[in-house]
Every structure is written in structure tokens, then in C-alpha cells.
Chains A and B, each alone.
Chain A
Amino acid sequence: MILGISGDEAVALAAKQCNVDVVAAYPITPQTIIVEKFSEYVANGETQAEYVRVESEHSAMSACVGASARGARTFTATSSQGLMLMHEILYVASGMRLPIVMANVNRAISSPINIHADHADSMAVRDSGWIQLSCVDAQEAYDTTIMAFKIAEETLLPVMVLLDGFVISHTLQNVSTLSDEQILNFIGNERKSENILDPENPKTFGAMVLPDYYSEIKMQQIEAMDESKKVIENTFKEFGDLTGRRYPLVESYKTDDAEHILLCMGSAFGTAKVVVDDMRAEGKKVGVSRVKCYRPFAGNEVREAIKNAKSVGVADRVAPFGSYPPLYLDTKASCDGINLKSFVYGLGGRDVNKDTIKEVFDRLEKGVDEMFVGVRE
């Protein structure tokens, strides 16, 4: 069925169709539509899930930890300050290997307060042990939410689905949906639960671990994150076989012969494709790639995508303080010998339009090493 829905609504619908047991969430712009939609599903008896209307995001993630440890298929959603408030418990969730799925609707962080698209929030928690999958539109947000449950439950790692505030969260799009049956056949009807809080088989979760074991436990988590890449790829492939919608870890557009490539994340990719077409019509060899699988960082795939370019502009939607921004740093660490330039655009919802993207390509062509794009003097 094709529905004209926003990115937020697509995420809420996907979570409901995934037969979640527990949702614990707190409203925050621009995530709010997700919790409102889910509340409607609960109020109308369209889901049997328990919705815990917590009093803060810290408690939202804490309740998710409790529910997931008990064996529930668990979902939450947040943005910006909410993700900041959850920060501490994100590590608890990943350290306990709890397969929680969370949509983070990317929004700038205070101060100054700003409710619009910016990647500072999810980038600030990129090393919290969560898989991070970035989306370009509502369709992908829907699809990725579904795949996230499968990936989380297979890897026992929590998964964050990232969608740009307003640009994706509030923009209506025709979204091709699946039936509940198709989805549950794909992800499993309910969570397979072995390591859970079970009165029949008592286990201790969240023990005190001292220097004699801490490193080994962290190594298991590090290995699980490294190995998750294979599970993510397989899940993307199976989902592609089911729906025809194929998601690579790194998606590229007209990069094969490109001299200059823009590497980005999120909704900017759509705009960039249009700019690439425009510039190609003028005979300029440009292309664009975007990182879908940001954690674990798809470094090999990024390198493959950009290795033949004369120069690559890595565009971050994050204000860097005292160093380079995160996507650039990750790319730099994976792409030794490739000519990379760091760009920053779109802070606090500053429109990333065709001119913005074109400016990046122009600077690449001219070799202008100037980081900030679209900022007034």
C-alpha cells in the first residue's frame, strides 16, 4: 500500500508493524509526531504494545533498558536535547547488549536553542556503541526502522535510525508500505530472547566489573560492532530482495568517472543528486556519495566510492570546535592518500539547497580550502 505520510509517521507505522512490545518515549520537536502517532495506535487498539509515557528522555531510555532486558521488543524516539539527556543510558543499553531500536530525528543542540536539522545530536553519541543508520527520505526511514529491528536482534546491539528534522520528519512523501505479515516474516514475529531477566533462569544484568575483566567485556562489544557490518549488509540485501528497494552501506551517484565528489549524510544527498545532474549537463565531472551506515563506519566502502576522485569534499552538518568535524575525521582515517577537504553546512536547519552544494563543488574545482559554506561574514 502506498501512503502519503511524513517521515515521523513512517517511523511510527514501521515500529507498530514490527510488533513492538514496549515503547517508552518523551515528546520533543521534531520527533513529536512519532509519539503522537504511536499514542493513537495505542488509544485505538491498533497495537498491543505498552506505551510508557515517561517524564523525561533519561527515563525513556532507562525504561527501554528495563523492558529490553526483560525480553521485550523495544522502541523509542527522540531528538537533540532528548538524546543528550539519554547519553548516559545509551552506553548502558549497548554495554548490556540490548537490541533497542531508536529513531533520532536529527536536530541542533542548544545553546542557542534551535529546533531544526543538524547532525550534532547523533554525532555526539557516535561512540556510544549504537549502530547508526542514516536516511535520506521518509521511505528510507520506514524501511530502515524495519531493518533496524532485525539487525538489532541478530547482533544484540542497539540501533539508531537517523532522519533529518523537518526535512524528512515533517515532509509528506508517498511511502510504499509492507503488510504486517511481510514485515514479521522478515524480522521474526517476536524477539528471540535468551539473555533476559527470567525468573525461571535468574541472571545478573549490569554487574560491577573491575580491571580484571572490563577490557575483555569491552572487546566482545567492539567485535560485535565490527561484525555487525556483515549482518547489516545481509539484512539490506534480504530487504532488497523482498521489496526491490536496495540500500548499500554507502550509496553513490555518478561517481565512477567523477573528478570531484561530495561525501555527505542524510537528506542533502537528494539535493546533491540534482546538482550533480545540472553540473554534468554543463560538462563537469562531479558525483555524490553518502554514508548510510555510519556506525559501524563503512570505511572500506567509502574508500571504494571516492578513491579515483581528484578531490573529495566531506560535508558535515555539525559545528566543529577545535578540530575537524566527525564525518571528515572518520573518512580521513579510512582514506589514506585521497585528497579530502572538510566542509560544514546546514547548521541549525540552514537550508542545504542547490547553491550550497554547488558552492562545495566550485571550491573543490578551484581548490579553495575553506570549510564553512553558506555562513554570512
Chain B
Amino acid sequence: MNAGGFNPNLKGLSQQEDLLLPGHRLCAGCSASIVVRQVLKAVRGPTIVVNATGCLEVATTIYPYTSWALPWIHSAFENVAATASGVVAAERAFERKKSEPKSDVIAFGGDGGTYDIGFQALSGALERYDDFLYVLYDNEAYMNTGIQRSGSTPKYAWTTTTPVGSVEAGKMEYKKPIDLIVAAHDIPYVATASPAYWRDLIVKARKGIEVDGPAFLHAISTCDRGWRHDTSDTIEIARLAVETCYFPLFEVENGEFKLTGRSRAIAKRPELKKPVSEFLKPQGRFSHILKNQSMLEEVQENVDRYWERIKKLCGE
């Protein structure tokens, strides 16, 4: 896997200037800022960031402060893709009319802003083939408003709108397979990533920036408040999501599916695959599942089925 000779290493990255500056008010242990820092390590030149409403937006731009060292705009919740389309259109117009070099455009949205309320705008922008990288940081619920279920929340997960009661135990529906839906738009690049595998994530972000046309990067983004885990477990849980095949790492380049990194290794050596209970265990939102054998078995079956589906798509 490469992106035009782009080869990030720790030494180089540590010397690279950060574009998301310290001092923001995201929670200790939040993955979102880690995902953003990693994505911004992949920028190749002048870049404009568009942000949906959500934790990332709220916590990084409390007036009169900002954590963004590049031009940044937030408009509303459901329209990050459409706003990005407008920026991209201006870039194209200025290139044509004034021969100005185009800036790259990166959009950040959470799962609520992507799976649910922002889905129409996203689909429209993809269909129009607008040239920007869309980064979904997926913490699997509306965390900014206090942990409400979204189209991304997995089955049986506790949230404040899917409480664990005597009749219903957590969310009763499945997580929407957003990557497959986005890939069905036939855009040049779609990928999943985990901040635990930083190199994989950064290279994928760079590929998404480099392709002509829309690219979609879906990063799992742990949330210690909503997932009810210890703040020191952030990266470990982001790793377990991949190691249990709950969140397989793959990319779709011009329609061709391919497993990457750890997920590829697991496909080659199935004994590396960990039971999903290891991903569930450190998270309070799943504690009721671990106490219920049939529920746990169903969750494992769902993970296995999805993993097999992705493997098959990836020709493994």
C-alpha cells in the first residue's frame, strides 16, 4: 500500500508541525482528536477543513479560541458534504478563472452527521463526484448531546435513548453498513481505519486526498464517556475493534476491495482473530451482553457474518 511515495514514519511525523493545536476541550481519552491529528499528518499542501456540528467542532473552536492551524469552516450538522462541495466549487472556479492552484478539501463528520442527518448531503456530493476527502469519525452514537443512539450504534449497545430495560436491552437494530453504501456510489476511494494503526490510517488519508474525485475514510473513534471505558484504554479498544474483526480494515480502490494491515493478517491466519467479547469487555455500554450468553452469541455471529462478507468482497 502506498500513496505516491508517501511513506510516513514516526521520526518524520514527530518533526511535522501539528495542524490541530493543543488546548482544545475534547475529553481526555477521546479518539476524535487522535484521528484528526493523524489525518492532518497526511496533508500535501494548502488544505481547507469543513466540519459538521459535533464534539470535534464544539470542543476545538470555543470563541475566541481555535485549535485549527488551517482554514476551517463549520456550517451546520447535516450539511458538511454540501458545504465542502461549495468550497470545492469555488476552488474549481478560481482555477478556471484566475489560474489559482486548487487547495485540498477535507470534511470531518461524526456518525450522526454521516449515517443519519447528513446522509443525503453526503450521497449528493459523492454522486456529483466532488473532489474532497470525507472523514467519518465514528463513535457510534450522538456523543455531543449525551450518548443517544444513531444509525451507527451497534445492536444491543446501551445509549441514553436505548437504555437497558426489562423489555428492551439496548439498541434493537443493526449498525448501518455505511462503507458498503458509500462504496456503492462508485467513488474512487473508500477505506476504514483505526487510530491504533496510525500508519495505515495516515496512508489511507493521503490516498483519499490524492485521488481525483470523492474519497471516504471511516475511522472507528472510541468515546470513553459514551462507551463507558477507562480513558487509558482508548487505543487498546481501537485495536481490539480490529483484532476481533468487529471493525475490519479494508480499502476500496476504484471498486476493488482489499483488506489491509492487521485485518489482512487475520484473514491469512484466522487463529489471530480474537473473540468479540474482548472488545466488549472493557466497555460498560455492553456490560449487559456479557451477562447474557445468547445475546453474546448473537453478537459474535453478527461480527462473524460481517467479517465473512468483507473477506469475500476482498477476495480472501
What residues make up the interface of A, taking CB atoms closer than 8 Å to B?
21-22, 24, 48-50, 52-56, 58-60, 62-72, 74, 88-89, 92, 197-210, 213, 217
Contact = CB atoms under 8 A, between A and B. Distances in A.
A63 B92 CA distance: 13
Interface in B41-84: 46-48, 50-51, 57-58, 61-64, 66, 68-76, 78-79, 81-84
A206 B75 contact: yes
A48 B86 CA distance: 15
Contacts of A52: 85-86, 89, 128, 130
Nearest to A58: B79
Interface of B: 46-48, 50-51, 57-58, 61-64, 66, 68-76, 78-79, 81-94, 96-97, 103, 120-121, 123-124, 127-128, 130
A199 B121 contact: no
Contact of B93 (A21, A54, A202): A21
Contacts of B93: 21-22, 48-50, 67, 72
A207 B62 contact: yes
A35 B91 CA distance: 21
Nearest to A53: B128
Nearest to A207: B61
Given A89-B75, A203-B71, A50 B82 contact: no
A199 B46 contact: yes
Contacts of A200: 46
Interface centre among A59, A88, A203 (most CB of B within 10 A): A59
Contact of B71 (A58, A202, A207): A202
Nearest to A70: B90
B94 A209 contact: no
A212 to B, nearest CB: 8
A69 B73 contact: yes
Nearest to A56: B120
B90 A202 contact: no
B161 to A, nearest CB: 23
A376 to B, nearest CB: 41
B86 A22 contact: yes
A329 B89 CA distance: 41
Given A53-B128, A56-B120, A59-B121, A89 B79 contact: yes
A199 B104 CA distance: 10
Contacts of A72: 86, 89-90, 93-94
Nearest to B86: A66
B63 A66 contact: no
Contact of A55 (B46, B47, B121): B121
Given A21-B90, A92-B76, A202 B63 contact: no
Contacts of B127: 55
A55 B120 contact: yes
